[in-house]
Structure 1
């Protein structure tokens, strides 16, 4: 009755990459490359995606070193990801030359015999890739996330061989979902054969680089655990994964080692302080061998039990926000204050061999894990209030898993600003080799949720193994739960409002779970036993709200009130000087005319938060507030 989620999808060719910022390596020598490659190999990562900026002076020197170093490893590769946003777009001839220069290297990653190539953005140069592919023979899977899945796949007469999404972080204080991933699967599935999807996986995001107009964070609570659960539960599973990132310290999502030589972004980006100093993330690699084997093979094994703990060392109300926002108006997102919207929590994930019988796990003071694996063997996860950090202990068998954790900071050493980065610690102990009791192919979803009005029905259907990623988000996997015996007779089930997005869910509830549960969904105006007139929602029911109206606020009301009224109706409504007064679906953007602009009043406390640049680029540039 409940169908397993994991159809085979060319599992022999699955691969896991890590996004690597080449511009951090100006001082690298060959042994530095070898050291980083060795750490990635230990985590069972297959290749580095080398992000390269146009015009970087050390570009080919470091590419030469990297490809020389990787020759020492038979099971690790490299490929180039052309960054079209970091320092302007790439010229077609230069892209062609670089791919041809390195594609024959022994350490270059190839897919179906073709040299692999990717991008960060660059959809405006999509037509270039018709000739680039013809002249290099590359397999091309770009990140053109700014156009969305369906927009990206149709560029340049479908020049892409697959697509990579950069949407690896949740919106606001919500948990990570898979709606964007589902849209990519749907778009790529329209080709015959299906084109592969490269799914993003990231543990965190915080950046404070005002020189690059970047100062925001996305919610990282539970993100690393949740995202890997989503990888294992997505149907169809992605052909490739890309971990964001190995060494992007400026955005705080690094899983590679700390390195004082790689912190130039803080200088050039005008960071108020170095927010990665003494903040290791190595622990996030600890469980990758287990997870990557589960993804590739459907099973795993380990002779080591381990615990990973991640938390922020500065509580949200101890210091100022540093003007950091949760979400960013630069991506037309509704902004929040992280101090008011995010909880102070600690995330704990443990790989345990058998917490049953005479073996135990102690999660104090909560007393239980939030998520446990099928049969109790594998990854366990819990989120606790940060105040309980000092009380946490975990044990498996007779030996406690000891972990020394630095305390929460009670002062504000960083210019009185909160460091929104995470501290990650881990420890491990030897164990008799263990494996999951059943392969992934025999497991189904056992819990889940949905956005907005989809939540009640997704929570119900996911519990019984029906959790379509087009409507729901799966949060745990395990043995199928039989339908309840008290559900009543099967009855027809249709969307209450005629929206086809509810179709499969209502059909499952009413026909599989029975009339009792169908009536409950009918009382919530989700399902109906009679077919309704089809209807199409004006906007996607899975989208978060966007700002569609606003005004100036506080001291800036007089200077920027007109600008806020203009920009907020298009979703660009920075909370530092604007107040959003209305929300709705994604607002159509005004025509781009270019030119840019900046505020007439300067200084750290009087910045226009990008209002003039946004407005002037779109033809509205009041001289009372802006200069060009």
Structure 2
């Protein structure tokens, strides 16, 4: 019997020994951590570890002058934390392609750290894109002995199949749905087929909204149910590795780590500040344990937990900021963002036993929902034109066992623009 901890004892389950360990990592933008102290880096890792995340994939840009200093601090912090692994993810789009020799030198510099993740007895290495450099990797693998799992998603599965012998596995960046449909595992299955038996790293992300005109980025993807829906897909699909996108990419609104103002890209302050996402991590012990054991029946919830998320501004509150639903730059049809961002509260109730869940906006009517089973239950509550602070509770046997409040839904928009980012709260 193994005990897993999240603040208090949250889950108890039996763990069977797997033939190959399963891992969950979070994508960590090193450039956004340039001004973090070693203690702050260590705190991030401790928070991730509490959520059962195994480590960070360190996204590094070759032209960022802070890269080497942050890497040194990160590996040192991970060694202090213990049982927390890191691997390098070379970003070939931000700052341009990496020279082969520098990739080799960087891998060799950190592969001896006790914090370096080894997969099949080799230091694991990944990328963000780099499809123009696919032929570099045989030389990189020879010069480092690394286990290469790149993200070459823009190639597509068929073209990747032609170059898969250059690498050892594959990581897909395709974590968001197009249009209104829920994200499915169809593309994951295509990538698994293309890898022809090599390990597959599956992406999971809770949200996506970006408005950074200096980088020609201003769109959102459907995200309402994405966090809970995608983890259910992980449970059924059982990939070799999972990577969460992301821990600290504030500019794209899919961060699950703490907000550090110095790491927010210029222009993103409007939609990031005041929109914490930390409570999404409270669902991770349940989902990660489900994935790793491949059996929800082994998990007993011992703390009733409410996690809720919504946008602070209803759709009709202000300007859409010229944001599109979907990304036309990627060949997707542009949609009205209001069709993807519905005026609703989304609730995940992790309960010990069947329970009543209550939700209220301002002084409006109380919505009563029924969590019919122990474990995870999900709901949605329309705004219904209401504004004001939000209130939530879990009732069982005529007794309140959990209570939480959230920030006000308001038609007052920063700079007159609707904030398409989510705010996340919990008890």
Fold equivalence (TM over 0.5): yes
> What SS is found at the alignment partner of 1:394?
strand
1:174-573 correspondence to structure 2 within 5 Å: 174-188=181-195, 190=196, 194-234=197-237, 237-263=238-264, 265-266=265-266, 271=267, 273-298=269-294, 299-355=298-354, 360-362=356-358, 367-368=368-369, 376-387=373-384, 390=390, 392-397=392-397, 398-412=399-413, 414-427=414-427
**Structure 2 unaligned runs (5+)?**
1-15, 361-365
1:197-218 deviation line (CA, Å, top 9, x unaligned): 1100000000000000000000
Q: Which residue of 2 aligns with 1:58?
A: 66
* Structure 1 residue 393, shift from structure 2 partner: 3.6
Q: Are residues 1:82 and 2:90 paired? A: yes
Give TM-score, length-normalised by structure 1. 0.61
1:137-167 deviation line (CA, Å, top 9, x unaligned): 1001011000112322322x62121111111
- Within 2, Cα distance between the matches of 1:246 and 1:138? 24
Q: Are residues 1:73 and 2:51 paired? A: no
* Structure 1 residue 30, shift from structure 2 partner: 1.3
* Structure 1 residue 395, shift from structure 2 partner: 2.2
1:554-581 deviation line (CA, Å, top 9, x unaligned): xxxxxxxxxxxxxxxxxxxxxxxxxxxx
> What SS is found at the alignment partner of 2:125?
strand
For the Cα contact (< 8 Å) 2:347–2:380, is it kept in 1? yes
* Structure 1 residue 342, shift from structure 2 partner: 3.4
CA-based RMSD of the aligned residues comes to: 2.0
Q: 1:10 to 1:166 in 2, by over 3 A?
A: farther
Q: 1:11 to 1:171 in 2, by over 3 A?
A: farther
For the Cα contact (< 8 Å) 1:316–1:344, is it kept in 2? yes
- Within 2, Cα distance between the matches of 1:377 and 1:185? 33
1:577-588 correspondence to structure 2 within 5 Å: none
Larger RCO, structure (CA 8 Å, separation 6 or more): 2
- Within 1, Cα distance between the matches of 2:17 and 2:186? 20
Counting strand residues as a fraction of each chain, which structure ranks higher? 2
* Structure 1 residue 285, shift from structure 2 partner: 0.1
- Within 1, Cα distance between the matches of 2:19 and 2:211? 39
Q: Which residue of 2 aligns with 1:533?
A: none
**Structure 1 unaligned runs (5+)?**
1-7, 428-628
* Structure 1 residue 341, shift from structure 2 partner: 4.7
- Within 2, Cα distance between the matches of 1:363 and 1:35? 33
- Within 2, Cα distance between the matches of 1:148 and 1:43? 32
- Within 2, Cα distance between the matches of 1:32 and 1:391? 32
> What SS is found at the alignment partner of 1:79?
strand
> What SS is found at the alignment partner of 1:158?
helix
For the Cα contact (< 8 Å) 2:60–2:88, is it kept in 1? yes
For the Cα contact (< 8 Å) 2:207–2:254, is it kept in 1? yes
Give TM-score, length-normalised by structure 2. 0.89
**Number of residue pairs matched by the alignment:** 400
For the Cα contact (< 8 Å) 2:275–2:423, is it kept in 1? yes
* Structure 1 residue 304, shift from structure 2 partner: 1.5
* Structure 1 residue 392, shift from structure 2 partner: 4.8
1:319-357 deviation line (CA, Å, top 9, x unaligned): 1100000001111000111124532111100110011xx
For the Cα contact (< 8 Å) 1:144–1:152, is it kept in 2? yes
For the Cα contact (< 8 Å) 2:222–2:340, is it kept in 1? no
* Structure 1 residue 124, shift from structure 2 partner: 1.2
- Within 2, Cα distance between the matches of 1:307 and 1:14? 27
Q: Which residue of 1 aligns with 2:22?
A: 14
For the Cα contact (< 8 Å) 1:11–1:297, is it kept in 2? no
Q: Bigger CA drift: 131-140 or 381-390?
A: 381-390
* Structure 1 residue 184, shift from structure 2 partner: 1.3
* Structure 1 residue 404, shift from structure 2 partner: 1.1
- Within 2, Cα distance between the matches of 1:420 and 1:360? 30
* Bigger Rg over Cα: 1
1:429-451 deviation line (CA, Å, top 9, x unaligned): xxxxxxxxxxxxxxxxxxxxxxx
For the Cα contact (< 8 Å) 1:281–1:424, is it kept in 2? yes
Q: Which residue of 1 aligns with 2:13?
A: none
